[in-house]
Structures are given as structure tokens and as C-alpha cells.
Structure 1
Amino acid sequence: MRYMATYDLMETVRNTNQWLGASALAMASYPAFSLIPNPAIAWTRAWGEVTERTFQRMIVKPDWNIPPVPSDDGQDHVVTTEAVIERDFGDLLHFVVQGRPTPKRKVLLVAPMSGHYATLLRSTVISMLPDADLYITDWHNARDIPVSAGKFDIEDYTLYLVDFMREMGPDTHVIAVCQPAPLTLAATAYLAEEDPDAQPRSLTLIGGPIDPNATPTDVTDFGHRVTMGQLEELMIQRVGFKYPGVGRMVYPGLLQLNSFISMNFETHFRAFRDQIARVAQNDAQEHDKHNKFYDEYLAVMDMTAEFYLSTVERIFKNGEIARNEFVVAGKKVDIGKITTVAVKTVEGTKDDISAPGQCVAALALCTGLPDSKKASHLEEGAGHYGIFAGKSWRRNIRPLVLDFIDANSPKPQAKTRKPANRNSAA
């Protein structure tokens, strides 16, 4: 499957379905059809509208579209984004809240590179902005990166995180969501040896596969069941002629989306069937629950082949992080060297992607860290998405994370009053 023709064939299928949806919508919207009311026409129009939107969203990077942030001064402050570091494969993005005093909490949110854009954490960002000076890793779509930019695997990803942490300074609190949790832990350990003064103050790992074998899931079973040769043959393709990254070997976003949907096909099928019914009955809205979720869920990005394959081989198959044998740029990273950074793990009891036990394994690896700087939380009834963006995050987990950040921030020093000058002039 490692051919441009295969990549372009998938894009052709996507483009054709988008065109079919647009054609059905246009045809069924002719005013003449209103003369003869026919449910079939309404359903055709609804199917066309939902189909066109669905396949069009697959190649669009969503906007951040962050609403204004309320502040103690009674005003709503506009939010803009600013790239602090710009690199070929990802940027360090800063959310600038205009006109607001900078909060004491400086937070780096490490977004996953697992098929979706960093905007998947939009609701997480919105929930954190009132209480933190927030930064995020904004990874780029591999199809848009020229081959001349070189490779990007999990070691490069880790070194990107090292540079981002160095840029932000030692007063930073890092929150890693899902896939980057093991690599963020490794980046922190790397800094502990190479540049201790650049380490963050705290590290919160949410639903990440630190030790995938601690509690196997369908994801980990798949990683063990297939060989690397099979993965390379079945999942890797070359970017087609339509994009700047033409010729780059990638794990295509469209192929990833097919895997995402197949895991819960019946749920997605019912969701789209019900949405078509709502559109046909004029009960749907532009920003209803279905569109808000799927506009983000369907927006997928390509991963570089080397990143995907090295993640499967080194994190899932070989368990290099779990066995504390991860190597970056020829140097073995010892997680036990972390001695000052407070570490907290967050898991959900119903997480079917990174099951309970996989993330909390990080605490056992931090052998140089006192128990007073270790913490964990298991959220009852929460699934994977819920522990960083759902109701469980908003109501329970976010307050706990903020408390953990505050507990590991420098305490404000009391102001000392200068003694009065008793030597008055004669």
C-alpha cells in the first residue's frame, strides 16, 4: 500500500462522497419540488447536507475559536494565539488573553499526536484559560511538511518537548494528555540530567500508556498481534501530489479515521442516522451537539510513518518507557533521575483506550521522587475523553489538577517592612 496512488485513491473517494452529498443537497433543494411535498425529497436533501459536511470536514483544520475570558475586573478579554516557537513539525502556541494580568499559574498543555489536531483539546483549553497562562503544543499535519524537512519520530518528539520546556522556564506546570504522557515523562527525565534548572515544577499525566501491558486493551492487543512488517505494509502510504508533503511516508489521517469509526461503528451509525432525521425534520442546527462533536472528530491529520511505527514498536511492543530503557539521541533516559518535579496521574475507570493501571505506572518509575511529590486520581465512571474534556474533567479533575499545581508552586513571600530611619537630620 506504500504508493502515492493509494493515498490519492482515498482522497478521490473522500472527494467523490463530498461531491455526491453536495449534488444531492442542491438537487433536492430546487423550489419546484416544494409544489409536491414528498418525504423522499426531504430525506435526500438531509442526506446530502450531512454527507457533504461530513466528508468536507476530514481535510479541514478546525479553528481554535476561543471565546472571551471573563476576569476579576468584570470584563471579558479577547483571546488570541501567538507562536512562541515555530518548527517544521509543531509549534509552541501561547493563548494570549488581551488586557488581563498574567495569572501566576503557567501551564504547558501537551496535545497528543494521534490522528487529530491539537484543537481536540479546545474544551480543555477553554476550561483552563480563566485560571492559567496557557501554552499548547500545536502539531502539524505531516502531509503539509515537505520531505526536505527530514524525519520525525518519538525521539524527535521528545526533544521538541525538551526545547518547549526550556523556552517556558522552570516555573512551568506540564499537563500531558493521552499519547504524549510517556514521552513527556521521558522529556522531563532528560532535563533532570541535562538541564536541571529547566525542569517544570509539576507534571500531570492524563490517561497515557506509560505501561500499556499493565492493563491490556484492544489497542494494546492490536499492537502485540500484528508485526511491524504488517503495520508498515498495511498502514503506511506516500502523500499524494495534492499536498506539499508529496512523497512523504505517513500513516494517513483518513486511514486512522476508518480505525476510529470501526471501533464503535454502531454508535457512529446511529449518530449519523439520527442527524439525518433531524435535518429532514428541520430540527437540526449549525452548532448542535452532533456538529460540534463531529466537526472536530472527523478532522484528521497524517502522522509521519516513523513516528507511528516507532510508537508502536518502542512504547507498546518493547515497553521501553515501562522498563525505563528509553533512549533519546543515543542517550539512555533514566526516569529515576526525576527528584524535584511533582508527578500526578489521572485515569478513568471506563477508559477503554488507556485503561486504569497504564498511567499510574509512572509513579513506580519515579524512584528518585519522594512520596510527598506523587499523587494519583482514578475518576469513577469516566471514559477516555471524559477525563480531559468531559463532565468529569470540568467537575472533578480540573479542580484537583489546579490544586496540585498550586501545592507545587512557590509560596508567595511575605513582604518585610523596612525599619524606620531614626537618624533624622539635626
Structure 2
Amino acid sequence: MRYMATYDLMETIRNTNEWYGATARAMASYPMFALFPSPALKWMEAWGEVTERTFQRMVVKPDWDIQSFTCEDGKDHVVQVKSVVEKPFGDLIHFSVAGRKRRKRQVLLVAPMSGHYATLLRSTVKSLLPDCEVYITDWHNARDIPVSEGKFDVEDYTLYLVDFMKELGPDTHVIAVCQPAPLTLAATAYLAEEDPKAQPRSLTLIGGPIDPNAAPTDVTDFGHSVTMGQLEEMMIQRVGFKYDGVGRKVYPGLLQLASFMSMNADTHGKAFMDQITRVMKGEASDHDKHNRFYDEYLAVMDMPAEFYLSTVDRIFKKGEIAANEFTVAGRRVDIGAITTVAVKTVEGSKDDISAPGQCVAALDLLTGLPDEKKAHHLEEGAGHYGIFAGKSWRNNIRPLVLDFINANSGDAKKPKAANKNAAA
């Protein structure tokens, strides 16, 4: 009960701040006050507008906002988001482009379950749509999943990926972004032993913690500095009475957001003060740079407690993937069993979340994979976000990933050679 009260308290604080913002905006824009123009009232209205929007979007799942795009025929084609597989904790969805001939490249984007929605990869999806049939894992907010659906930990996550890969078939190229990279590698190894014909053709791991200890960061230091008991006591709460998942243990998105914001409090504070000034001057808009970023950044989701705790314990503390000792349903998953799936790792030289060295460690675990099917790319000057959604992704990494996919497609006449030290 104590944890449910805490969860509801956080939601009450969020809701109250949203109300304060709406009230300030409404009061300051009262028509009669126009008789007495005042900069203070303008600032109050702007503060209210920014505050209301800030706290309002914390509980709203962002829309994909991919309506259409122009194809090579010069026409705009409608993009429809369709569910291919629906499961309690996440769906496999497809971005179907109406009236367009199906693309030969079939890509499965594995989105993180790390507190933000899969829409965090919206720009990644947009960049791949012109050249690929794009599918993505769309994880659900744990607060909306009834307790009757059971648990969901790293093993369940891995088996979800196995099912999604089986559904799409062997002509699939998988791209895992950040947190799911180790489990995507494990899912591929699981298929290599259980159903080799269902394995994807290629696997691209972007900025993932395959071996977190290869290059320590604040994230890995935190994982080692607290005990699992302390972590459960500090971070885990039960969903309150407002949502369908009432009573489910979760790592609340609002709690994670507070942690993220506190790490760069001065930067975020300045960003919001600057936005209030822009609203006062009439220079802001619904889709300006500030709103585009914070509409996504502030939209957080709860993670199942089992998934959060088992990720910290098994991936970071015990390093089961790095030691090739990961088990699923009591059976060891041997990463060395991958012998045909081409694997590429991508890292950013300024990534402070999954530092260089953590992701490329995957290649050393692939003892059964020929060197010509391994590739690595280090993007100089790129941070964590930039390697999958920023300028570095668009201009440098995306073309390399598409080349790697082409080189390892079944219809490729002469697959391009790749090695551990050079990008394919």
C-alpha cells in the first residue's frame, strides 16, 4: 500500500502542476485584463502555457506523426501503422506505405524499453522508410497492463524478440538501438540453436551495453554502487488506483524522468526559461525546436519491475551476456552458435551512456562467425542520440548500415567484405 500511495503522490504532483499552468494561462489571458496591458501578465500567461504543456505530455503517448512521404514517382504516399503481432507487453508494428511496391529490404528496429516510447526512434523510422519495409517493437506502458498478465523480465523480452523474428522470417535485417542490443544478440543466438532457418540475415547493434565493464560510465558505476535490495527499495513502486495495471510493480517513468532532469538541471532550466521568453514574444510554435524535443523527452512510460531489476542485475552487475552465460528458461544461450548472421556494431566516440568499447565487445563473443561477416564503425564526435537519430546517423551511419544490409541480402551478387576494424 505504501508504494501505491507514493505512485499516486507523484501523479498528484504532476497533475497539480499541470493545473497550476492551465490556471495561470487562463487567468492572465482574461479579456478584461487587456484594458491594463502589463508585461507581468504576459509573462504569467507564457509561464502557464509552457508549464501546462510540460506536465501534460508526461502521461501522453506521442503519436508517430508519419503521415506520408514522397516516393520516387513524385507522389505523396500515405503511411499506415499496422499491428502485425499483438502481445500484452508489446506489439510488432509495420509502417505500410500505401500504393508503393514492397521494398526488398525488410528491417526490424528493436526499440529500447528504457522509460521512453518507441516513438523516440521516429526520425530513424523516417530515414529508413524510403529504402526499406520497416517494422518496430512497440513496447507498452506497464501501468496499463493488468497484473493478471504476469511478469515480464529480460528472458521474456528475449522470447518476444524470438517470436517477432520468426514472424518476419529469415529475409529480415535487425537493427537494435541501445539498451536492447545484448538481448537482441541473445535472441539471435537462441534462434541459431532452436530454429536456424528463422535467423535474420544481418544484425546491427547500435550503442548497446554488450559488455558494460569494457568502458565504465556513470550508468555502469551506478549499477555497481547499489545493491539490488537498495535498488528495489528506492526505485520500485506499485501502480496506483487510476490505471489498469493497479498493483503491478514498476519502475515509474516519472521517477526516471526526474533522475534524467536532475543530471542536467541547469541546461533544462535554461531551456524552459528561454521558451517562456519566446512564447511572450510570439516567437514560439507547436512544432518549434523546443517542443519537438520535449514532447518526446518528457513522454515517459513505466517499466515492469522485473525487467528493470533483471537488466541491472544480469546485464550490468553479473555481465551474463559479456561472459556468454545468459540463460533463457533454464537453458544457456551460446552466442558462439551464431555462424551465418552478419553482425555490425556502431558506436559514438562521445557516447556517455554506452561508451565506445561496450558494443564492439559483441564481435569477440561471435566465435563461430567468420571475420568477413563482422563489421564495426566508430563515429567520431557523435554522442549517444546522434548515432541513431541525429546528423551523424543521417549523413554517415545510415548509408553504411544500408550498405551492410545490401551486402548481406540473399540477392546480393557479391557481398561486400567486412572486418572488425572497418565499416562494411
Amino acid at match of 1:351: D
Q: Of the two, which has the highest radius of gyration?
A: 1
Amino acid at match of 2:182: P
Contact 1:110 1:137 in 2 (8 A): yes
Contact 1:153 1:304 in 2 (8 A): yes
Q: Which residue does 2:51 correspond to in 1?
A: 51
Per-residue deviation at 1:69? Answer: 2.3
**2: distance between equivalents of 1:85 and 1:286?**
33
Deviations 1:224-267 (A, max 9, x none): 00110000000000000000000000000100101111121111
Q: Aligned with 1:135: secondary structure?
A: strand
Q: Aligned with 1:61: secondary structure?
A: coil
Q: Which residue does 1:314 correspond to in 2?
A: 314
Counterparts of 1:286-305 in structure 2 under 5 Å? 286-305=286-305
Q: Which residue does 2:104 correspond to in 1?
A: 104
Counterparts of 1:23-422 in structure 2 under 5 Å? 23-411=23-411
Per-residue deviation at 1:412? Answer: 5.9
**2: distance between equivalents of 1:345 and 1:10?**
39
**What root-mean-square deviation, in Å, do the aligned CA atoms of Structure 1 and Structure 2 show?**
1.1
Contact 2:335 2:366 in 1 (8 A): yes
Q: What is the aligned length?
A: 414
Per-residue deviation at 1:74? Answer: 1.9
Amino acid at match of 1:109: L
Return the TM-score normalized by structure 1: 0.96
Q: Which residue does 2:417 correspond to in 1?
A: none
**1: distance between equivalents of 2:273 and 2:350?**
26
Unaligned runs of 5+ in 2: 414-424
**1: distance between equivalents of 2:261 and 2:2?**
23
Share of identical aligned residues, percent?
Answer: 79
Amino acid at match of 2:259: S
Unaligned runs of 5+ in 1: 414-426
Contact 2:10 2:254 in 1 (8 A): yes
**CA distance 1:2–1:343, shift in 2 (3 Å):** farther
Deviations 1:380-423 (A, max 9, x none): 1111001000111001000000000000002268xxxxxxxxxx
Per-residue deviation at 1:2? Answer: 5.6
Deviations 1:59-89 (A, max 9, x none): 0000111031222222111000111100000
Per-residue deviation at 1:37? Answer: 2.0
Q: Aligned with 2:389: secondary structure?
A: coil
**1: distance between equivalents of 2:285 and 2:91?**
34
**1: distance between equivalents of 2:349 and 2:2?**
38
Q: Aligned with 1:78: secondary structure?
A: strand
Q: Which residue does 1:420 correspond to in 2?
A: none
Amino acid at match of 1:352: D
**1: distance between equivalents of 2:161 and 2:349?**
29
**2: distance between equivalents of 1:251 and 1:83?**
26
